[in-house]
Structures are given as structure tokens and as C-alpha cells.
Amino acid sequence: MEMDEKKHYKMYKSKSVWVFACLSTCLIVSFFNDGQNVSAATSASSTQISQTNTGSQPNNETTGETAQSSVNSTATASSSSVADLPSSSDSKSSIGSTISQPAIDKKETSKSDTADNDLPKSVTTSDSDKALPTSKTTLPTSNEQVQSSVGQSQTDQSASSATIATNAVTSDVSQNDQYNEPYRNQYHYSSSQNWINDPNGLFYDSKTGLYNLYYQYNPEGNQWGNMSWGHAVSKDLINWTQEDVAIPMLQNQGWEDFTYTNTTGSLKDKGEVRYVGVPTTNWGDADGKKAIFSGSIVVDTNNVSGLGKDAILAFYTADYQIATRKNDGAEDGWGTWIGLTEIQEQHLAYSLDGGKTFIQYSKDGNAANPQAIIPTSMNQGGDAANFRDPSVVYDAVNKQYYLTVVSGQQALIYKSSNLLDWTYASKIERENDVGNGVWECPSLVPMKVAGTNETKWVFCISVQQGAHATGSGMQYYVGNMTADGTWVPESSKTLQNPMTMDSGEDFYAGIPFSNMPDGRTVMLAWQSNWSYVDEAKTSLWSGNMTLPRELSLKKNADTTDGYLLTNTVVKEIANNEEANVINKAESNFTVSRSDEQVQYEGKQYKISATFSWDEADKPKSVGFKLRVSDDQKYDMIVGYDLTTGLLYVQRLNTGEPNMGAPRDKMNATVNADGSITITVYVDETSIEAFANDGEKSITQNFFMRPENIGDQATTGVYVYSNDGTTKISDLTINPITSIWNSTGQLTEKFVDENGNTIASDKIQTGRVGQSYTSESATIPGYVFVKENTDHINSNQLYTTQNQTITYTYRASQASVVTKDTTLAAGPSAAWNAADNLVGATDADGNALAVSDLTVNGAVDPKTPGTYTVTYSYTDATGNKISKKATVTVIASKADIVTKDTAMVAGPSATWNAVDNFVEATGADGNALTLSDLTVNGAVDPKTPGTYTVTYSYTDAAGNKISKKATVTVIASKADIVTKDTTMVAGPSAAWNAANNLVSATDADGNALAMSNLTVTGTVDLKTQGTYTVTYTYTDVAGNKISKEATVTVLTEKETNIEDNTGSSISNDRENPPASITGKGGDDIHQNAKTTMTKKKTETLPQAGNHVNELAIVLGQMILAICVGGILWLKRRVKRV
């Protein structure tokens, strides 16, 4: 009968007994068939190792004895045509004999710790000259370069290590109905199909806002094997979307040839051994593959590795089998045949696309056949087959990275400054339960002690066997790191008394997320146990993760070193929690010696309550009965035993008796001083229980299969108090919706300050855990004031409970006021937007400048026309206000009117520009004053001549108007004509200034009146004598004219004296002499000078008789005219 299965270093079931296979696993090819040892013979002829990948793995369920039975000859997978292997000296059988490969149920558990680490430079895995030549191409930095590099190497391009999806399912799981199968947990991550186990490389990507979960994954089926890195992403650590395989198995790996001396494990007595041949993962067929085991991820933010800023560096263990010989020179130099044994070495791959695909790193640049960064030669654990699960973390104090791997029951610490080159630093050795199982998936986690500034380094480890409950489990130890890379336990008791991470059977291979955005320490684990994993099989998938746990290190006197690592489900689980279904009135009650049913039924929910009691009627135990069947025979119990002080989970009543026994060891010590708070997360096949806010936790799988319990519902919920009275308070039940197909709704409301709706509600729906966008809307006339939320998610993710955002607005005070204007066109006319803006305010009423507005429209101030300009303003909330203004550009009305003038020259003559200015108007037609004009030209008012004066004005638009005026300056025509007169003195004699004035004219030649003249001088008519009278006139130009007249006054005696002409002078004694002053008077005659002659027959006129004289003269003149006229007429007649 063929061998049932190869159970390398894991637990497997042999008949009805669980057996632990040695970790060393030198190849044991013994087959057990009814106790008969069937060995595969080796051929004497040497054959080439075949590169054919059989891939088939029979899944026979026959049992085998322990893998330690002797192997006389071990069949090896034949290599590629590189070298012929000599046959064993003791056997002539063919090395290349084909062995049918039983299903490998190799449950490798991995550890991935994400920290800022630099990877060590790769070290060659082949020390032999027989190694295949490799490409000399440089390290690829992209998928394209990888392909190029592969193309230049001697390996097939299909071996490219750039991640390419194999058979993984990539889908939005919310669209996959497959997630409704029986036993599928609804809010714990599992792949859509196929096997998964350890979480690997957990990290947060700050660029995408995504949490990344990698995990051990078999793309070929739902049993362990073909290990690759599966991948899922989430925005909230709860709702995950499966992605393509991130790191598939290495393909077509080349010939290996190196030596190593094992000091532990199954080969410790073989001395130096030689590992030579083509790698395989098929235990009998040289398929050229290497499996991708567990590891961790570092985000290289500062590019210390040189692989790229923010490159995502994945450290993992490559696992394969290879032909093994003693390095004793036997068998023609090949060495004595041992068999196929296992090799584990540490590799590095990096991603430049956010962790979707990875490029294999190799120091020689050959990504298709990468070298290990920590090869077997650097394995300080002494067992080449057990050297795995690299966890990388950054030590900010000592500025270096640590890479921790496990080897048997010890952890090896390497250190580096660049994430590529690693040196061995120290080790941590197991001191508790030595020899029972091995360590796996280590993590060194720096953590602040709550409430202090103290930092401790917590060493977390998974124990494959011998854990607190049964089989697998997790432990932790508290210590410190030194600068040389040594982890120092807190005390001598630390390693002897490990603390339990979770007291259930199904919390394993937990590792923390790296690069967390908020500084939290969050751990995720595989929810299973190697001891009975095969009995928990489901289809089409196998395995799921726990809920993510937030860890906190607190001081606690009841622990080994005074530190307690608490763990609670991350707050993001609230995204999938529905509202509490227990009303306040029913959340507080008393239970006495009975079970009391809670009015709720379901399979996926969170339940929490505080149990308290009095010493007088103290119960033996209290707690919940969950997933209770209709007939109440089956249930899961989560309770607290007051007699032992233990929190426990009991799954004996699930109808699944074969999942190992007993199943009542899941307990944790809790010091309850009169009360205890228990919180439980219940899923389809999962219980995660917590006491007192994460002080202790228990994680447990269970199955209630219809074939065991019958076709009945298992949805009941009870609280119980055993043999005493218990007070129940603050009971809550929150149903939890599926992470696969649940949707959430966001409603956005828009109201004014009085709560009145001002716009229609906006409703969005989407998958729970996915992002939505929300923002206040722009509502015309309103300004956003505040936002009120109801069950809103701070990360803007959809949640199970509907979310509401209410946006409150007030009326906007934003305004724009404009005015219409008119301006005159002209060469220098200008227009500014401010000219038509009256004022503007923002939403809060604050004044705005024109620069705060948007102005559209153009004005050509040089061209008459009508222009429209729009002023717009958008306030802070998006409200837009627009106002228009009209600008009318008109032709200028500017004008100047002048006049010509004439003036008389003279010493006091003056001229002003206003004399020739009539009027002027500006561009808008409004009157201007002379001061608004520019006057050019000079006038000399003292000098006769013709003068030109120019009047100019340039309006605001640059239009220039000029007008001229002529000023004529002429000589003055002012004159005075006088005459001399003679008068007879007498008492009644009278004289007037007019007597001596003949005529007078002004500057223009116009006659002047006596009143316009100034007369100076006196005439005394009583006294004989000669008197001089002066007549003066000053014209408007200041020209002064003066003329004199002589008045002769005679006595009476002289009146009879004839002058030489025969005239006589008469003296009028009755007219007294007159005094002439001032400017003449009404009594001054107009007569000019009088010539006096003496005649014997005539007497001189006396003063006062001048009127008679004038009449006589006039009569004579008239008579002469008449006589002359008659004579002229007579002559005229005679001629005729």
C-alpha cells in the first residue's frame, strides 16, 4: 500500500493516534502497508534528475507509522541534465526510480513581522562549480525588467519571479454567492476557495489607504501544499477583498550544490553533508520548485535597500527538498547517499506596485533563479531543514533592523542596516516544555507600557505542540533589546514561565501589522490548530483568520514579570455591527439557579454583559449558552467558574466528539472581584471570548453538523447562573453582518438653521467597509455652517448601520452691487473694473475688494459704444453671485468759445485772459472755468498792436481742444479843445468852466461831457486880471490830456476902449467874479475862447449877456445861409 501522506515537521494522524513528525525530516520514503515495510529500490545506474513537475498528489487516507522508520534506500527526484549521480555503493538500483507522491499535508506555519528593515544581500546557495551559470543582468526594478532579465538567463522565462497569478481567484467577494456555504464564517476572512493558513506580511499602505493581508495559500486545492502567498486587501481590517496570488512558488530553479554540517535534527550524526541536485517540492520528482513559506513585510520608506522609495520588501522562507549525501568522497566523489531531505533558506522579494506583484531579489541580478539573502550556510540553528518564518522589525533606538527566524526550539536574531546584508546577532532558547513541539512564526514587537514612556520588546511565538489548551497555541515573553541585537528577558523566570497570548485552541501564527497609521499594535492569527486541522475541513475552502486584535501592554502584578498583554477586537468591527437589539429595560435583570433565554436568535453577533453576585448566594458559575439548538441539547458555553477563577469555553455539547478530547481545557485565570464582564463574538463556526476588556481571551472553532445533531436550528441565546443568583447588567447583542455581501447606506440631508429642508436628500449605497465621499453641497443663496452626524464612520466607509450626515446652512450674505457709467472716448481714456463696482461682501458680510471678484467683459475706452461687464463672486460654500454693469463710451463734448477784443493802449491799460474767454465745456458737456484751460500768448496793453491768444483744454479722455482770440491794442483818441475868453468884471458877472471848453473826446473818440473832465483854476470876475483854467481828462488806459484856457477880466473903464479891430469892451458890473474849482459846473458855457475887439460903435458885452451875443451870431449865420441859397437858385435858373 502506498504511503498515506508525508507529514513533514507537523502533526498528522496515524490511525486513531495523533503523531508529531520530526522537524528534521531527512527523507523517509518508507511506506507502511499493514505493517509491511515497502522500500523503493535504487538503481545502480545513474540517471538524470528530471525537471518534470508531476504536481499530482494522491490523497489516500491510509495511515502511516511515524516517519522515523528506517530507510534502506531513498528514491530521489532525478535532476536535469546537468550531472549523472553515481549509484550507492551498496545498491545498484536506480536513483531516478519514480515514486508516487502521496498528498503532502505539510502544515507549515509562518511568521511575518512587518517593520522597517533592510534586506541582506543575497548569498549564493551553491558552493559547487557544477552550479548552472546565471545571468549577469542587473537587478530588475519592474516586471518588464524582470522579464528582460529572465530572457537573458539560462532558465526558462516561465520561471520569472515577478508575481503572476496562478490559479488564485481574484474577485470582489461581495459578488460571490459561494460565501454562503455551510460552515463559512461570515465576518472572519477566508479565501473564496482552497487552503489557507498562517497570515504573512501584514502591513498598511499609506499611499492607498489599504491594509494588506498575505497568507499561506494553496492555489491548487483545499489541503496544505503548493505554498504561495495569497493576498487580500481591506480599508478597515474587517471587510476584505481577495486579490491575485502575490508570490507564487518559485519555478524552474537551477542545480544546487553546497555543504552544511547539521548539529541538530535527523542529520546531526551525519557530519558534513552535501546537498546536490535540482530542488523539488514533490518528494520524489525533481520539479524544480521552491515553496513560499511564511514571512513578513517591511515598507522601505527611506529606500535604505536601494530597491526604491516606498518599495515593499517581502521576506519569506523558501522551502524545498534536495538529494542529500555524506560529504565523504564516496560513490565516485558524490558522497554516500542519504536521501531526499529538506532545506529552508531566507529570501527577499520586493514590490513596486503596492504589493500586488513582487520581483524576486537576487544579489547576482538573476530574479528567475534567486539566491537566498540568508542561505543555509548562515543557519546558526544547526538544522538545515528547520530554519524559517523571518520576521523583520526596526529598532528606532539603535537604528538597525532585526530579522528573527526559528530553528527548532530557538529563535535566531540577525541584524542589518540596509535590509539586504545580514549578520548573526544572538538567539533566544526555549526553557519551558523543552522538546515538546517547535517554535514557529516569531515576532519581536516594541511596545509602550500603557500609561508610561517605558518601551518593552515583547517576544511572541507560536508553539506547534504543548500549548496551553491542546496542540498549537501562542505565547509571549517580555524583555529588552540591546545595541548588539540581543533580546534580554525581563527576569530569569521569563522564559521558564511563558504567558499565553490566547487561551483557546484556535489562535495560531499570529503576527502584527507593520506601518500602522495610528501607532496601534494589531495582530492577526490563523484560527485553527495543527492537532485537528484535518477534522475541521470544509469545502471548497479550508481555514480562516481570527478577528484582528489590538494589543496593549499593561502592568499587572499577577503575571510572570508584572506585564500583561491584553487583546481586544479592533474598533473597526463596529462597521459591521448592527444596532443593539436589547432594549434598556431588558438589559438588566437577575437569574437564579437557572438558564434564561434572551429574546434573540442568530448565528453572527456580538454579545456582552456584566455578571455580578453577592457572597450570600454566590453561584458556582455564570455565563452564556450560545448557538443553542432547538431541543437545547447542543450549545457552546462561555462562562466563568467562580470556584476556580477560570474563564472558559466549553464545546463538548456540539455533537462533534471526534475533534480531539477533552474539549474543556480552554480556560484562563481571571480575578473577578464580585463581577466579571464577558464579551463574545459568535460566527458560523467561531467563538472569540474576552474577559474584562481583553484581560484574557479564548478563541475556539466548533462545528454543529446536521449529521451529528439533526436538522435543527442552533440560534438560541441564554444566560445562566449555576447554583446561585446572578445579576445581569448592561446586556447587549449586536448582530454582525457578513463581510462578503453586506451593503451600507449614507444619507446626506441639507437644512437651514431652523431645520427646514432646503435641498433633496442625497443617498449613497455601497459595500460595507468600502469608501464613500461626502461633502456639503453648493446651494444657491446659502452658506454651509456645520455638519451633524449619526453613526458616521470617521474614515468615510460604509457601515452596516445606516449613516446620516446633516448639513446645516444659513442664508448667504454674499452680494455684488454695480453701477452703470458713462465715459468719453479719447486717446488716453482708461477704464478700470473698480469704476463700476459699488461694493461686494462675502458670505459672512465682510467687504470684498474688486480683486476678490471675477470680472468678465472688455471695455474699449477709445471707441464709442455700449459695453457690458459682469462681476462674479463665488463664496466659500460655492454660492455664485453675478451682477452686470453697462459702460457707455461716448464722443467727447469738450469745447471752447472765445472772442476777439480791442483795447486802448495806455500806462494803466490791463489785459486778462478772461477778457477774450466766452465759455468752455468738458467731455461730458459740463461747464468749465478759465482755470481749467491752458492759455498761451501775451498781450502788451501799453503798446498798440495786434496780439493772438490761444485757449487749450485736454479732457479726461485725452481729447485736446484749442481756440484763438485776437486782441487789438490801439492808440487812445482822447482830446480836449478849449478857448480863451474876456469878461467885464462886475458885481453880477458870472463865469462857468464850459465858457472856455470847445470839445472833449474819450479814448475811443466819443464826446465827453463837461462832467467827465477835471477843471482846475479860478476866475475872479470882480477883479481885473488874466486867469488860467486847466481842463484835464484821463482815459481808461491811463492816458492823461490837459488843456488850458485864459479868461481875461476887464474893468468898466476899459469897456469903452476900442481894440485895434474897432470893437469895444463892455463891463457888466452886476456880475461878480466867479471862482472856478472842480470839474466845471452847470454854469460853465461851451463857448470857446472869445476874441475881443474895440469898435467905437459897439460896447463889449457885459458878463451875463453872452446869451444875446449867441443869438445875434446865430441869426447872422441863418441870414447868410438864406441869402446864399437864393443866389444859388437864381444862377441855376439862368443856366437853364
Mean pLDDT of the region 960-966: 96
* Burial of 138: CB neighbours in 10 Å, binned 0-12, 13-18, 19+: exposed
Instruction: State how far the Cα of 911 lies from the Cα of 253, in Å rounded to an integer.
Output: 118
Q: CA dist 346 to 152, 376, 477, Å?
A: 25, 8, 25
Q: Is the pLDDT of residue 9 over 50?
A: no
Mean pLDDT computed over every residue of the chain: 82
Q: What is the pLDDT of residue 665?
A: 63
* Least confident residue range of 382-386, 639-643, 810-814: 810-814
Identity of the residue numbered 529 = N
Q: Note the pLDDT of residue 657.
A: 66
Residues linked to residue 276 through DSSP beta bridges, in sequence order: 257
Say what the alpha-carbon torsion angle 745, 751, 753, 754 is, to the nearest 10 degrees: -100
pLDDT of residue 1136: 53
pLDDT at 116 over 60: no
101-113 pLDDT, tens digit per residue, is 333 333 333 333 3
Closest CA relative to residue 359, chosen from 164, 542, 550, 580: 164
Q: Which grid coordinates belong to 676?
A: 466579571
pLDDT of residue 97: 32
Query: Average pLDDT, stretch 466-479?
Result: 92
> Would you say the pTM of this structure is higher than 0.75?
no
Question: What is the mean predicted confidence (pLDDT) over 13-24?
Answer: 36
Residue 156 has pLDDT above 50, yes or no: no
Give me the mean pLDDT over the 916-931 stretch: 94
- Residue 874's DSSP bridge partners are 880
CB within 8 Å of 519: residues ≥ 6 apart: none
Pairing of strands 410-416, 400-407: antiparallel
Rounded Cα gap, residues 668 and 722, in angstroms: 19
State residue 176's pLDDT score. Answer: 52
Q: How confident is the model at residue 122 (pLDDT cuts 50, 70, 90)?
A: very low
Q: Choose the most confident range, by mean pLDDT, from 205-219, 1000-1014, 1048-1062.
A: 205-219
Radius of gyration of the chain (CA): 63
Strands laid side by side in the 410-416 sheet: 388-395, 400-407, 410-416, 423-429
Query: 3-class SS at 213?
Result: strand
Least Cα distance to 218 among 104, 389, 100 occurs for 104
pLDDT exceeds 90 at position 310: yes
Phi, psi of 1028, deg, nearest 5: -110, 130
Q: What pLDDT sits at residue 1103?
A: 45
Average pLDDT over residues 245-267: 97
Across 289-317, average pLDDT = 98
Indicate the pLDDT class of residue 285, thresholds 50, 70 and 90. Answer: confident
**CA-closest candidate to residue 275, choices 286, 261, 290:** 261
Residue 947, number of CB atoms within 10 A of its CB: 19
At 666, is the pLDDT very low, low, confident or very high (cuts 50, 70, 90)? Answer: confident
Helices (H), 752-844: none
Out of 573-587, 1030-1044, 1089-1103, pick the least confident: 1089-1103
Average pLDDT over residues 677-689: 98
Specify the DSSP element, H or E, that contains 888.
Answer: strand 880-890
Specify which of 67-71, 167-171, 207-211 reaches the highest per-range mean pLDDT: 207-211
**Contact partners, residue 68, CB within 8 Å, separation at least 6:** 22, 28
CA distance 64 to 58: 14
In sequence order, which residues have a C-beta less than 8 Å from that of residue 958 and are 6 or more positions away?
826, 827, 828, 829
750-779 average pLDDT score: 94
Residue 803 grid cell: 449613516
pLDDT-derived band at 1062 (thresholds 50, 70, 90) equals very low
Phi, psi dihedrals of residue 703, rounded to the nearest 5°:
-135, 130
* pLDDT over 70 at 186, yes or no: yes
pLDDT at 40: 31
What pLDDT does 1081 receive?
A: 42
For 325-335, what is the mean pLDDT? 96
pLDDT of 101 reads 33
At residue 44, the pLDDT reads 31
Would you say 950 and 935 are in contact if contact means Cβ atoms under 8 Å apart? yes
Cell of 28: 523517509
In angstroms, the first-to-last Cα distance of the chain is 192
Pull the grid cell for residue 1027: 486867469
| Number of other residues whose CB lies within 10 A of the CB of residue 1013 | 25
Write down the pLDDT at residue 1056.
Answer: 53
Half-sphere exposure for 442 (CA within 13 Å, toward CB): 33
pLDDT in tens, 852-864: 999 999 999 999 9
pLDDT value at 223 more than 60: yes
Beta strand residue intervals within 140-290, DSSP E? 194-205, 210-217, 228-234, 240-247, 256-261, 272-277
Size of the chain, expressed as the number of residues it contains: 1136
- Per the structure block, which three cell numbers stand in for 588? 438588566
Proportion of the chain above pLDDT 70, given as a percent: 78
pLDDT by residue (tens digit) across 401-426?
A: 999 999 999 999 999 999 999 999 99
Tell me which of 261 and 48 has the higher pLDDT: 261
Say whether pLDDT at 124 is over 60. Answer: no
- Find cell 535532476 and name the residue: 79
pLDDT at 700 over 50: yes
Helix (H), strand (E) at residue 1116: helix 1106-1135
β-strands 945-954, 960-970: how paired?
antiparallel
E-only strand ranges, 812-860: 815-818, 821-824, 837-841, 854-856
| pLDDT at 664 (0 to 100) | 61
Separation between Cα atoms, residue 837 and residue 184, nearest integer Å: 70
